[in-house]
Structure 1
Amino acid sequence: MIDHMNANSDPREAWLFEKGQTATVFTGLDPTLTSGVQQQLLVDGKIAVYNRSVISRNKWLPGTLINAAEVNLILAEYYSRNGSGVTAKTYFEKAIRQSIEYYVRLGDKADVLTWKPTAEPTAAEINAYITNINFDGATNAAQRLELIAFQKYIHYNVMQADESWAEQRRLKLPVLIFQEDETSTIRKTPPTRWTYPNSESVYNSDNYNAVKANDNLSTKIFWDVK
């Protein structure tokens, strides 16, 4: 995500993240590195963290169920899948503008301004980012879906983490690579679903026993067909 933001001058970057304490640029954490290397990068202050004023220490951060950017990204996917790339572009670009506005406005709630950016994105910066994304350069539905899915990934972020996880499983986009956790005795890579709570086996035993064999972190949810 941060590599993308750096390469395309994403106006949301400074509102979502801070540079590491010893870093001069935004740097993401490579999940394919070993845990020891990852930990050392964090200790050395070289890795970006979530912006403390806007996100991680903003005690007035609102809960988000659904918002305008999400709706328009859904519409962009719908029209792209149904052969209307021009209409999809309209909703796609509108969603980006709304997503930028959403994260900037979260900063309005900040009670500690220490890490809040001092200037809001300009219209020129927003337009430049949309130009850099180049939705017109996606010549088919598959390429358009990659762009739409990545914008969902950025927009949902930690604010709508459940939606982000669901969309990544549904679309298999963006393609994410994870280092296997060799210390885990349950699952070495991220789960495809959560297991049922213990209360199901106690209070709903007949139905639970019927699916018990599939109650694990690897079984796909019914809509996860890829």
Structure 2
Amino acid sequence: MKKMNIKIWAGVFSILFAASSCDDFLDINDNPNSPISADVQLVLPQAITASASIANQFNSYGGHFGGFIANAGGFSGFGNLLNYNLQPTDYNNLWVNTYQDPLADLNYVISETEGIDELAFYNAAAKIMTVVNYQRLVDAFGDIPYSQSLKGEEGINAPVYDDAASIYQNLLVKLDEAMDIIDNAEFPLRLTRASDPLFGSRTATERSIGEQMLDWKRYANTLKLRILVRLGDAGGFAGLDLNFVASDNTPAGSAFLEDDAVVNPGYEKNRPNPTWATWGRTTADALANSSRVPTTFSFSFYNGTKISDSGRGETMFVNFPTTPINQLGNEVGNPTIVAGQVTWASNQAGLAGTGVLKGPGMGRPLMLLAEARFLQAEAELNGFIAGDYIETYYEGITASFAYLYEDENGGLVQAPAPLVTAYTNNNAGNRLVEIEAAADNTQRLEAIITQKYIAMNMITSDEAWNEYRRTGFPSTVAGGAPPFDIASNKSNVTSRADRLPTRILYPSSEQSFNASNYRVVDFTSERIFWDIN
């Protein structure tokens, strides 16, 4: 029997357990053609949930490098977060946890469901989630084990590192395979609410199988869009499916995400959303973190220095607009947090439970609708796909307001349209908001990426960091005043104009377990292949 990496979250998936013995339950060799495999139904939701948990770890990594998180007063030991003197031990968790948990489990699901029509949707979902996790690794580390990864049972214990750009191309193939599987399955079992904590649990009632799998297809197509935008390959956009047809007469609608892609396997106070557990409160209601505050750089997109945005600021930050802020690296007179208050959580009347940290039961986003719309706007701006980039751009801003004004249970506290109108009116003529005021496509792209950066603040900060490296936006002034300088003021290890590292190092775990393929990289100059800045 193949080894499985299963971590069972008691209570969430308990319906899948029977009174049979463990040996009977796990024996997948008795009937290899059985249309129902209890272990697959357990492994897929575990892998999706683990992908969400690691998304939180990537968010924290991107928050520090992408200019969102600064050190608060009263704490020491920030070390190389302040000067960027990176070490191989710094980000082991991103690498090890991704390979060890979701990717190993997703690989198992794929191998156990390949070619089995009844389990086609499990296979397709696992392939899509595999792309999510491998792309995150490539964007952080560049070349990674891919074609030979997860093949320990075949005797490959020192997998080679594949070329990052080639991996990107193969991820496109995997997404096409997954969408074809969804389209062509004849008698598939549905992904239940328990087995699909991403799109199966979005409403209080069971959604139709057509609606659920259309969402998976839209997610796959939006991931393709992200990869193609990052590649900048005009020819590749012809492979996007822009004319969805639902096999069960369900209205197809948009070819891209129509809502935020949010994982929620049943988070609650004692099993909280991982982002809430990191930046909010513990299960005993103590502050989970009191050593970080927003950066002066990121806060300038809310307090009027660059953009006036009280609408989103009031949902996101404690005591807005007098939230304690700091430039990363400043340890002289740096502010402490508001005593007893979660920094990235609103305490405004009527807005508690909205914003970035809504509560322990909130879902964990894998991709925001706002990101999807800004990706579309950029592709439309460049003529890669048809559409009105201006209209799509404002849809992205509206989607950002909508997400932040949702409560812990996904209900809207305020309608976004009036908030967006007030936002655009308050920033009339500001080309970072009013894209029509931009003089050329470079300035239009700056508006799109800047708004994407704002939308991803402390939600998917790693994607904002990726987009900064790819485009150079939002703009920074090296050595300038804190609202305009994205870097730590203690940066002293890179000669780059922006004083930021280009990437993180391969982890020390690879030095120990894959020494023949491990290599030292220069984090001050060596770039991920799509980083042309």
TM-score per shorter chain, which class?
Answer: 0.7 to 0.9
Deviation, structure 1 residue 167: 0.9
Q: Which residue of 2 aligns with 1:168?
A: 468
The answer to which of 77-86 and 166-175 deviates more is 77-86
The 3 A distance-change label for structure 1 pair 108 and 66 is same
Q: How does 1:197-216 map to 2 (within 5 A)?
A: 197-208=507-518, 211-212=519-520, 214=521, 216=523
- State whether structure 2 residue 334 is matched by structure 1 residue 34: no
Q: How does 1:35-114 map to 2 (within 5 A)?
A: 35-38=331-334, 41-42=335-336, 49-51=343-345, 53-54=353-354, 55-56=356-357, 58-82=359-383, 87-105=388-406, 107-109=407-409
Listed one character per residue, the Cα deviations across residues 7-56 of structure 1 (whole Å, up to 9, x for unaligned) are 33452111111226xxxx34563427832132xx33688xx931154444
The 3 A distance-change label for structure 1 pair 174 and 35 is same
Q: How does 1:110-121 map to 2 (within 5 A)?
A: 120=414
C-alpha distance in 2, partners of 1:6/1:85? 35
Q: Which residue of 1 aligns with 2:456?
A: 156
Listed one character per residue, the Cα deviations across residues 104-124 of structure 1 (whole Å, up to 9, x for unaligned) are 11x2349xxxxxxxx635633
C-alpha distance in 1, partners of 2:386/2:446? 13
The 3 A distance-change label for structure 1 pair 125 and 87 is same
- State whether structure 2 residue 300 is matched by structure 1 residue 3: yes
Q: Say if 2:324 and 2:338, in contact at 8 Å, map to a contact too.
A: no
Which amino acid is 2:311 matched to? P
Of 10, 14, 19, 2:319 maps to 19
C-alpha distance in 1, partners of 2:300/2:420? 18
C-alpha distance in 1, partners of 2:456/2:303? 19
Q: Which residue of 1 aligns with 2:502?
A: 192
TM-score, length-scaled by structure 1: 0.75
Q: Say if 2:377 and 2:393, in contact at 8 Å, map to a contact too.
A: yes
C-alpha distance in 2, partners of 1:15/1:194? 32
Gaps of 5+ in 2: 1-297, 347-352, 428-432, 477-484
Q: Say if 1:3 and 1:28, in contact at 8 Å, map to a contact too.
A: no
C-alpha distance in 2, partners of 1:217/1:3? 27
Q: Say if 1:83 and 1:141, in contact at 8 Å, map to a contact too.
A: no
Gaps of 5+ in 1: 111-118
Question: Rg bigger for which structure?
Answer: 2
The 3 A distance-change label for structure 1 pair 167 and 76 is same
C-alpha distance in 1, partners of 2:329/2:510? 38
Which amino acid is 2:383 matched to? N
Q: Say if 1:93 and 1:130, in contact at 8 Å, map to a contact too.
A: no
C-alpha distance in 1, partners of 2:314/2:421? 17
Q: RMSD of the TM alignment (CA)?
A: 3.2
Higher-helix-fraction structure: 1
How many residues are paired up?
204
Secondary structure in structure 2 of the residue aligned to 1:12: helix
Q: Which residue of 2 aligns with 1:180?
A: 489
Deviation, structure 1 residue 97: 0.6
Listed one character per residue, the Cα deviations across residues 88-136 of structure 1 (whole Å, up to 9, x for unaligned) are 111100011111001111x2349xxxxxxxx635633321313432111
Q: Say if 1:194 and 1:217, in contact at 8 Å, map to a contact too.
A: no
- State whether structure 2 residue 445 is matched by structure 1 residue 145: yes
C-alpha distance in 1, partners of 2:337/2:462? 29
The answer to which of 87-96 and 169-178 deviates more is 169-178
Q: Which residue of 1 aligns with 2:435?
A: 135
TM-score, length-scaled by structure 2: 0.34
Listed one character per residue, the Cα deviations across residues 190-211 of structure 1 (whole Å, up to 9, x for unaligned) are 4321111122223322222xx3
C-alpha distance in 2, partners of 1:10/1:86? 30
The 3 A distance-change label for structure 1 pair 187 and 136 is closer
C-alpha distance in 2, partners of 1:43/1:10? 20
The 3 A distance-change label for structure 1 pair 85 and 12 is farther
Tell me the percent identity. Answer: 25
